[in-house]
């Protein structure tokens, strides 16, 4: 069990003015911010980040959306980080997300679902390394 996960506050939630509320919910839940930045993915960055979904019908829609505006990328630390963070954000589809979860409160739709959370310890490390250089992690 690793104690690190990676998150992005996605373009919809940044555009809708939810950065502060989402970060507050994350830190109130006991996650420590190890790295964080406001940035924007290029189309190529988004294609690479979501390569695992390349065969899915929504891939290009996902790539276009994720590169459409600024995001907040962050590395978070907590015991059992990956699993606890996925509980905090709720189901991929906000219509199915539990009451009080970040996606239930802030997401627009299954595609524009406010936040990303790593799905495994292995992917948390890969995703963190994709976005941050060693000197940006504390």
In the complex, the smallest distance separating the C-beta of residue 109 from ligand CMP, rounded to whole angstroms, is 8
Q: Quick one: 81 or 134, whose CB is closer to ligand CMP?
A: 81
Instruction: Please give the structure tokens belonging to residue 52.
Output: 């695992």
Q: Is 116 a catalytic residue?
A: yes
Output the smallest distance, CB 53 to ligand CMP, in A.
6
Nearer to ligand CMP, 67 or 113 (CB): 113
Contact between residue 1 and residue 80 where contact means Cβ atoms under 8 Å apart:
yes
* Cβ 62 to ligand CMP shortest distance, Å: 5
Binding site for ligand CMP (CB under 6 A): 53, 58, 61-62, 92, 110-111, 113, 116
Q: Which of 61, 16, 62, 7 is nearest to 39 (CA)?
A: 7
Terminal Cα distance for the chain, rounded: 20
Smallest distance from ligand CMP to CB 3, Å: 20
| 98 DSSP assignment | P
Of the pair 47, 116, the CB lying nearest ligand CMP is at 116
Q: Answer whether 62's CB lies under 8 Å from 111's CB.
A: yes
Which strand (E) or helix (H) includes residue 83? helix 81-89
Give 110 or 137: the residue with its C-beta nearer to ligand CMP.
110
Q: Which of 77, 90, 103 is nearest to 3 (CA)?
A: 77
Point out the residues that are catalytic. Answer: 116
């Amino acid at each position: 069990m690793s104690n690190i996960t990676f998150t992005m506050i996605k373009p919809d939630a940044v555009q809708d003015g939810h950065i502060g509320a989402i970060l507050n919910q994350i830190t109130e839940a006991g996650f420590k911010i190890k790295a964080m930045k406001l940035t924007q993915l290029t189309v190529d960055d988004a294609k690479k980040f979501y390569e695992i979904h390349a065969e899915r019908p929504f891939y290009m829609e996902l790539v276009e959306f994720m590169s459409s505006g600024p995001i907040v990328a962050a590395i978070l630390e907590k015991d059992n980080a990956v699993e606890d963070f996925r509980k905090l954000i709720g189901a991929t589809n906000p219509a199915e997300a539990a009451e009080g979860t970040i996606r239930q409160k802030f997401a627009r739709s299954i595609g524009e679902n406010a936040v990303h959370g790593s799905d495994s310890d292995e992917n948390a490390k890969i995703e963190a390394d994709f976005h941050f250089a060693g000197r940006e992690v504390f």
